[in-house]
Chain A
């Protein structure tokens, strides 16, 4: 039997929902648990309703559970909105002094604010009292809790927060009937990080030296992370005047020979598409992260959706090769980032990574990334001893890949052009050269098709139902398939982390083995299902969700039952 607990922290923006949530997630990770946590917040700095859900299990978890064992309610709305989500035996920890007149067996009155004032001298630490109370209810290791807090809050603030948390912890022990005792799940140490952090660290490990971007939810923290570590790792982050500038700067940086990237969301990417074409025709390596959110236009700025797949596959006018990844796990966020830089330089083209609000802000535990396995491949570089005559930036080759030289080289002048050009990089008009240059660029597809990141496949070949997904929905679809199989169903799961070039063979094989296929997507039109039809000629059913909220296994299972 697995040991598992689900926390929820709810409150207004500014009440510290995020810090309590993150502390709880960290506490459980340090206690040897696998953790998955997601965040739901509004597009505002103060007020509104936000929540942070944490699932901790002694088995691997990568999805949220809808039922809540301990709800920390920092305001009344959190109780009203989430009371019905309580699991059997679940409890709500709340401040009965601030919210008088409530009654119920599942309500645990911990006067956060006055206790924080009394114990730590400041009501602002109310949320830390709540954190301590939650840990008290599960019988968490007090020393480990104190250690976590002193590491999290620096200096004097650490000691005060320890006092506040201990007060909450002690009072929770008095509620005997509400205890949900857990024990340490083991001494394995795992990292706890969110999708944006994994991508940002991946970019630094890959040797990204230049980033230009314009802040936009949900990718802003990638930009901030790189900026915070820029001095130490020799990289420059330029906050651009707009996304048009951001991508054009990125292309300029790539041309000079550094690894360069930008990141944005759908609205910003709309402004970037012209620059994407510039990278393509100048054959400049760039990496672009598109963290999607519901559109069109401003849409739901702090919510999630997978609505930009078609757009990203086709963005910019004209035709050119590109590579599109969609990290499915936290390890993918790190590894595919490194692969993106290698592919971008080896094939001299734009590589796009699709993440979304859900992946960007969700926390996962994982084993430490193995840096010794990181390889850096900068691709074909100009060597004057192997080159006859003057350097030609776009020299015709078998693979379509011409050796790169960088400006400043004593033996080469590097001429790059957004106009169609000849091997020298100079502007041309004739049809013959145009045809040869198009062929040259598209030759790269042959190489790229040989190294497609193959989809993950789970389940029996004889399964009746195949579930297909892409990107951030991996954990939730996998858990749905596993649950189906445990309860008498017969399910397999195919999940794509690379969308372009498209893994035609893997998808065709899996679909032909199975009676029914459902493509599960966070969008309205079933964009992957459309792509599958285009690329394989095979049709599938759809399970779609476009309310701006992520899937849960419960939602997918209910849909599957309906479809049957």
Chain B
């Protein structure tokens, strides 16, 4: 079958008008349609926050998990049924704060999933508090003295062992859908950190602010995304110039390929045979 845009129509979003999430939703749908992925083969696992609502606004199998915890159910689902295309969806608070440990270890184990993080550098759903990626000195209701230095998601992903590390911008749907496609096509753990303006609570990192600063990594032909040290160095760049694109790419065996139990097929397709346990009982005599 040929998948059409209408196949990915969902409920009406409850986001603020002008929210960066609209661009992300459009890019997700565009990528899925262009890759001709049937919603029945898709599993969207989200956390909590404005980003966590995205799956409800499109189509697919959905597991809307806890705050900070989309990663564990996403990786487990991929282990149990590798036929599913698994996309985990998070925000900067959800993925880098509450779920930081899951993020690091999922990257390390290299599960074959795509991880989209809507990074607006602020807590939106709780109405304007500092987030792990807020710029240093950023004043919010919970940081009247200014925010401490930010978390570096790309640097951490590269160090932890993620095999595709990319950044895009919600204001550039074309580029973002391209990055999402790269992520889905990549065999391994793919992080797409998405710069997302929050029109209600972040009056610093606005559309205009990002537009002035972002530049595309692939414009520089000399940049080599397979060079881990160069990628790590590039991940430090932030401020007047903000790179977007694929920072790092590596081919490595995925976690799901390490289990002999999966050679016979997916776990969901394997039957239950209690009588086979007979030989285990023999060991207790």
Contacts and interface: CB of A to CB of B under 8 A. Distances in A.
Interface of A: 29-30, 189-193, 197, 201, 204-207, 209-210, 212, 229-231, 233-236, 238, 240-242, 244-246, 248-253, 255-260, 274-275, 278, 282, 368-369, 371-372, 374, 376, 406-410, 412-419, 425-427
Given A204-B280, A236-B267, A413 B64 contact: no
Given A407-B40, A408-B268, A427-B64, 11 more contacts: A192-B285, A231-B259, A240-B105, A248-B66, A251-B65, A252-B65, A253-B80, A412-B40, A416-B62, A418-B65, A418-B66
Nearest to B105: A241
Contacts of B53: 427
20 contacts: A191-B285, A206-B272, A238-B76, A238-B79, A248-B69, A252-B45, A252-B63, A252-B65, A252-B77, A253-B76, A256-B80, A256-B81, A257-B268, A278-B66, A408-B81, A412-B40, A415-B55, A416-B63, A418-B48, A427-B56
A563 to B, nearest CB: 39
A205 B277 contact: yes
Given A231-B260, A233-B276, A242-B101, A248 B65 contact: yes
Contact of B261 (A230, A240, A278): A230
Contacts of B61: 407-408, 413-415
A269 to B, nearest CB: 16
Contacts of A416: 62-64
Contacts of B84: 256, 407-408
A249 B45 CA distance: 12
Given A407-B84, A408-B41, A374 B274 contact: yes
A234 B281 contact: no
B102 A245 contact: yes
Interface string B194-217: 000000000000000000000000
Interface of B: 11, 39-41, 43, 45, 48, 53, 55-56, 59-66, 69, 71-77, 79-81, 83-84, 101-102, 104-105, 259-262, 264, 267-268, 270-278, 280-281, 284-285
B101 A234 contact: no
Nearest to B47: A418
A242 B72 CA distance: 10
- Which of A249, A256, A412, A414 lies at the interface centre, i.e. has the most chain B CB atoms within 10 A of its CB? A256
A34 B72 CA distance: 44
B89 to A, nearest CB: 13
Contacts of B41: 408
- Which of B72, B84, B104, B271 lies at the interface centre, i.e. has the most chain A CB atoms within 10 A of its CB? B72
Contact of A209 (B60, B65, B80): B80
A241 B102 contact: yes
A253 B77 contact: yes
A417 B79 CA distance: 21
Given A230-B259, A408-B81, A212 B40 contact: no
Given A368-B281, A408-B41, A235 B268 contact: no
Contacts of A274: 66, 69
Contacts of A248: 65-66, 69, 72-73, 76, 102
A426 B79 CA distance: 25
Given A230-B259, A418-B64, A408 B40 contact: yes
Contacts of B271: 207
Contacts of A258: 80, 267-268
A209 B69 contact: no
B248 to A, nearest CB: 22
Contacts of B40: 407-410, 412-413
Nearest to B53: A427
A413 B60 contact: yes
B72 to A, nearest CB: 3
A407 B261 contact: no
Given A197-B284, A248-B65, A413-B39, A407 B77 contact: yes
A368 B277 CA distance: 12
A412 B39 CA distance: 10
- Which of A192, A251, A372 lies at the interface centre, i.e. has the most chain B CB atoms within 10 A of its CB? A251
Contact of B264 (A234, A251, A419): A234
A274 B275 CA distance: 36
B114 to A, nearest CB: 16
B74 to A, nearest CB: 7
A371 B274 contact: yes
A374 B227 CA distance: 55
Nearest to A369: B281
A252 B66 CA distance: 11
B274 A252 contact: no
B101 A371 contact: no
B64 A256 contact: no
Nearest to A259: B272
A236 B62 contact: no
A252 B284 contact: no
A253 B101 contact: no
B167 to A, nearest CB: 24
B267 A235 contact: yes
- Which of A234, A244, A250, A376 lies at the interface centre, i.e. has the most chain B CB atoms within 10 A of its CB? A234
- Which of A197, A240, A372 lies at the interface centre, i.e. has the most chain B CB atoms within 10 A of its CB? A240
A275 B72 CA distance: 11
A256 B267 CA distance: 9
Contacts of A193: 284
A234 B77 contact: no
Nearest to A417: B64
A365 to B, nearest CB: 9
Nearest to A378: B272
A445 to B, nearest CB: 24
Contact of B270 (A192, A234, A253, A368): A234
B76 A205 contact: no
A275 B69 contact: yes
B25 to A, nearest CB: 15
Contacts of B259: 230-231, 236
Given A248-B66, A413-B59, A426-B56, A201 B77 contact: no
- Which of B41, B79, B273, B284 lies at the interface centre, i.e. has the most chain A CB atoms within 10 A of its CB? B284
A192 B285 CA distance: 6
A251 B64 contact: no
Contacts of A235: 261, 267
B83 A408 contact: yes
